[in-house]
Structure 1
Amino acid sequence: MPATRRPTAIVVGVLATLLLLVGCTDGPRPQTARPDVTARPSPADTAAALPTVGSYVSLGDSFTSGPGLANLQDGAGLCLRSDHNWPSLLADLLQASRFDDVSCAGARTRDIRQPAAGLTGARPQIAAVTGSTDLVTVGIGGNDGGLFSSLIGACTRANDTCASFARDGAPAILARTVRDVEASLDAIKAIAPDATVVLVGYLRIMPETGTCRSIDIPSADAAALVATEEALDRSLSVAARGADVTFVSLRAASRGHDACAGSRAWTNGAAPTGRDGIAFHPRLAGMRAVARAVADAL
């Protein structure tokens, strides 16, 4: 039975999401061809087997930067980078001697290679990468063409715009995303040819089937959201293969940890509580899981 809509929760959740998605945008080893990695969190006892990393650079959007998670990194500004986002946790796991996190809430793939619009003095994220960088992780693509914000907006309105956007709007956006992400990965590799470059996917927001009060979206619209989440994951996989880098998919790892999973949820629904992330974004538990998953892939 479809969930009953709760206007207050929806308004709060969507406003928080849209503000962040559109308001802020703006030794070494050779890289070898590697298959996609279906990530699963690593047991703690694998930490001793992790590679040694000298210089680590993190690029990405709000699913990487961690808005709403305490505490903000020094100098994070409008990018809202948390010191408990998954790159920070990964840097600790890897004991990186140098860590540069330039991920930013609202970033689109274009912000990898050009200054983010609306951020005075902002540099392209790729400017943090140098020839001596050992590891680069990239979490990007969900904001391209307004994909996330348009989809959430469409699916929280009482009409049929959700399914029509997923069917008619998303495919063209994702086709462009593949090209832009692949070009950005190629540009990173050109600057740091000896670095390991890893493209990281997105945690689930929606359950595989059905819906719940946490997300407050009817079942029919929830299915359209799931289809778009899966399409984005496939698109990122294609971009990673085209650029010959590792792709860490989080679809399998986060099964059963969607926003409807209660205490086991790795992402928030429409109305998060406390300082555990913002609406439709990762919780601290999710950030920890992504850090372990990427470490496992390395």
Structure 2
Amino acid sequence: MRLSRITAYASSLLLAAGFALIGAGPAKSAEQAAAINYVALGDSYSSGVGAGSYDSGSGDCKRSTKAYPVLWKNAHAPAAFSFTACSGARTGDVVNNQLGPLSSSTTLVSISIGGNDAGFADVMTTCVLQSESSCIARVNEAKRYVDTTLPGNLDKTYSAISSKAPNAHVVVLGYPRFYKLNGSCTLGLSENERTAINGAADYLNAATAKRVADHGFTFAGVVPAFTGHEICSGSAWLHSVNWGNIGESYHPTAAGQSGGYLPTFSGAV
């Protein structure tokens, strides 16, 4: 009988320990989330242009409730969240206008930047409205800018982030390729133009990734997530030319934010 009581007592201790371990998981996760102070910086790809559902208080910055920073915040409930990404932002705009919420207590930062510096909007306008040769010449001009000027601008931006938020894990997100080559599109740009534009996206991503690595940040490329969902894929997560709202052209849809940018960011956090 004594042995039976000892066995039962041991079993109850083990059972209690098991419940304690099971309960420790969610508590630890909640504790980790409570310690996260997240600031979302960047351009229109981070503010959510193209996803709709814009916060009226954000004005021309067009910050969307369907943008990946908000979706991540909703899923993880960080202790603090600040969203200063803005449509049209260049590196200088980030440094001058977006870094206010950063501090030594900031633990997580996301940013996409560099496309506007390199003349993204003008490249696409040229390619849509002018000849193939003009399009490719404008793409090559943008690539020269990426070679000569953009690295210094990125360095200034990343250094400013590090200075204000020295303890933060910084995730820099890239840009998708716009087109599925030999896809379903029968009108619009030529395959040569689409190839050149995709190549420019790769060129920009590669240059950005190098500067990111040199600053000890994390580069999160979205090309894999968007593969099969480019324009001309039949299941696009990017707007083509949107004449009704031209500013949304060549930006991720709500599905592109939730299916492309959100999991890519989450995997890098």
Answer yes or no: is 1:154 the counterpart of 2:136: no
Q: Secondary structure at the match of 1:133?
A: coil
Identity %: 27
Gaps of 5+ in 2: 1-27
How far off its partner does 1:222 sit? Answer: 0.9
Partners of 1:205 and 1:268 within 8 A in 2: no
Between Structure 1 and Structure 2, whose CA radius of gyration is higher? Answer: 2
Q: Secondary structure at the match of 1:128?
A: coil
Which letter does structure 2 place at the counterpart of 1:132? S
* In 1, Cα distance between equivalents of 2:124 and 2:45: 15
* In 1, Cα distance between equivalents of 2:249 and 2:186: 10
Answer yes or no: is 1:166 the counterpart of 2:142: no
Q: Secondary structure at the match of 2:60?
A: helix
Answer yes or no: is 1:233 the counterpart of 2:202: no
Answer yes or no: is 1:144 the counterpart of 2:117: yes
How far off its partner does 1:68 sit? Answer: 4.0
Partners of 1:205 and 1:267 within 8 A in 2: yes
Q: Secondary structure at the match of 2:64?
A: coil
Q: Secondary structure at the match of 2:39?
A: strand
How far off its partner does 1:184 sit? Answer: 1.0
Runs of 4+ that moved beyond 4 A:
48-51
Partners of 1:215 and 1:259 within 8 A in 2: no
**How many residue pairs get matched?**
236
Q: Deviations over 1:270-293 (max 9, x none)?
A: 1388x9x92110011110121111
- TM-score, normalised via structure 1 length: 0.73
Q: Decide which of 213, 237, 244 is 1:266's aligned counterpart.
A: 237
Gaps of 5+ in 1: 1-47, 115-123
How far off its partner does 1:109 sit? Answer: 0.9
* In 1, Cα distance between equivalents of 2:169 and 2:144: 30
Matches within 5 A, 1:218-229: 218-229=190-201
Q: Decide which of 204, 213, 217 is 2:177's aligned counterpart.
A: 204
- TM-score, normalised via structure 2 length: 0.81
**Partner residue of 1:253?**
225
Answer yes or no: is 1:135 the counterpart of 2:117: no
* In 1, Cα distance between equivalents of 2:255 and 2:85: 19
Partners of 1:54 and 1:133 within 8 A in 2: yes
Partners of 2:132 and 2:193 within 8 A in 1: no
Seen in structure 2, the aligned counterparts of structure 1 residues 66 and 179 have a Cα distance that, compared at 3 Å, is same
**Partner residue of 2:66?**
84
How far off its partner does 1:106 sit? Answer: 0.5
* In 1, Cα distance between equivalents of 2:201 and 2:111: 18
Q: Secondary structure at the match of 1:144?
A: coil
How far off its partner does 1:226 sit? Answer: 1.1
Partners of 2:51 and 2:254 within 8 A in 1: yes
* In 2, Cα distance between equivalents of 1:284 and 1:240: 27
**Partner residue of 2:189?**
217
**Partner residue of 1:58?**
40
> Whose relative contact order is higher, 1 or 2, with alpha carbons under 8 Å and at least 6 apart?
1
Which letter does structure 1 place at the counterpart of 2:268? A
